[in-house]
Chain A
């Protein structure tokens, strides 16, 4: 059954902006992205909003709904109270372009800084084999849809613009972890680079990235903390460091 709901939508650009109140009809089963589209179609024709699949798989419609980073296409209108005003703003960690659209190019720059997988030189393409249990470990990280909600909520860059130079962010820590745990990847020094170049030590494990991930990837427990422990192996554990020098191996 249709009902009217109250929305507050942030409108503006890099020069100025503010929250605008609007009342719009919502049908049963609709998500926040549906009602934003209805506002765009009926009341604010120039409202800028980024979206694509409407199925929680493309990561385009990331925004903040009642202050929480979420996918608008996966947030049911019915999850809010009937009298509640739903406040919709752009992601607050990235530069604003217009209305609900932000410039997320920071993330693409960081993606380029992570060295790619390096295949063993003695294995020709097609010869590589992996056991299922090794595949499963990184499979979780491959679920990432690059919505950048984790990057948005991470206080290291959200609350400190100056850290963007030296901090890759949770999305890229899972990429680094995936590669460092890959049995065939031969690139050395991923751990050292994670700490010294990608800013792993800046993370203080407050787990907000895990809380907002729409794919329910255990970013902190399965990627960041294991990477911190791997870094501790080579940088902060003299016993382990000595062992690695004697046995001449970086990982097992």
Chain B
């Protein structure tokens, strides 16, 4: 018997005496995250409906499109270094790049809290006894990899630049003329903007930009930047969810337009 049932502790047989609905938050988190994972997996393997030539829309799940199977309009200056066939397996362009955004979110300090609670129940909620007999935290493989969050953060910044570029080039009409705004271009812009907010509010960003300093007064510019990032950092959880929803919606929108189910409406 360990934990709250250890022999030296007060003899209370309940795992928790909380009377509020503590299970609602982990249940909601689990439901939303698992829904996203299922949808993203389906889309990553679907390998079609990720680019609409007419509207210049590319799904954030497939950008940058690095496979030689990509439509030239969906690539970055025809840069397609990866073969679409690997060991007779038709490799989806999404699978080539998935590790970077996935790694960024998996190692994110906010998502760690949410999935440790909702998926691993370690603990399911505060002051609710967890079901595991032993616990080593993030000291061993594989969880020690969480310490690589900064590298995924840097990769995430590169992706943000590319997705911002994707949003900018969507402000064109079917003839390729600039200065036209469609629902699709707004959707991609929202997706890129929320991703920037998510990245800029990241704890690693806060550390890199000034948090690692021992002496703020000797580095006034970095202190100022750290102060701004700290303000964003207060809402990191919110940006994590907003960006997840915005990226998912952008993909759904591009899929629907690309498959012909929806028409991309142009405001002008």
Contacts and interface: CB of A to CB of B under 8 A. Distances in A.
Interface of A: 10, 12, 14, 16-19, 64, 66-69, 84, 87, 89-90, 92-96, 102, 130-131, 133-134, 137, 153, 155-156, 158-163, 180-183, 199, 201-208, 211-212, 221, 225-226, 228-233, 235-237, 251-252
Nearest to B3: A159
Given A66-B17, A201-B139, A159 B212 contact: no
A64 B11 contact: no
B126 interface: yes
Contacts of A206: 113, 116-117, 122-123, 126
B88 interface: no
Nearest to B220: A133
B48 interface: no
Given A183-B214, A199-B139, 8 more contacts: A64-B17, A96-B11, A133-B216, A158-B4, A159-B123, A205-B116, A221-B203, A225-B203
A89 B17 contact: yes
Contact of B2 (A95, A159, A182): A159
Interface of B: 2-4, 6-12, 16-20, 109, 112-113, 116-117, 122-123, 126-130, 132, 134-139, 143-144, 147-150, 203-204, 206-207, 211-219, 223, 233
A252 B213 contact: yes
Contact of A162 (B2, B116, B126): B2
Given A17-B10, A201-B138, A251 B213 contact: yes
A205 B18 contact: no
A204 B122 contact: yes
A15 to B, nearest CB: 9
A236 to B, nearest CB: 4
B207 to A, nearest CB: 4
B144 A201 contact: yes
Given A67-B19, A158-B4, A159-B2, A236 B148 contact: yes
A251 B2 contact: no
Contacts of B16: 67
A24 to B, nearest CB: 19
Contact of A251 (B204, B214, B217): B214
A124 B138 CA distance: 41
Nearest to B110: A205
A160 B134 contact: yes
12 contacts: A17-B11, A133-B216, A159-B4, A163-B135, A180-B214, A204-B116, A204-B122, A204-B138, A205-B112, A208-B123, A212-B126, A226-B203
A64 B127 contact: yes
B136 A202 contact: yes
Contact of A89 (B12, B109, B113, B213): B12
A211 B204 CA distance: 22
A92 to B, nearest CB: 5
A239 to B, nearest CB: 9
Nearest to B116: A204
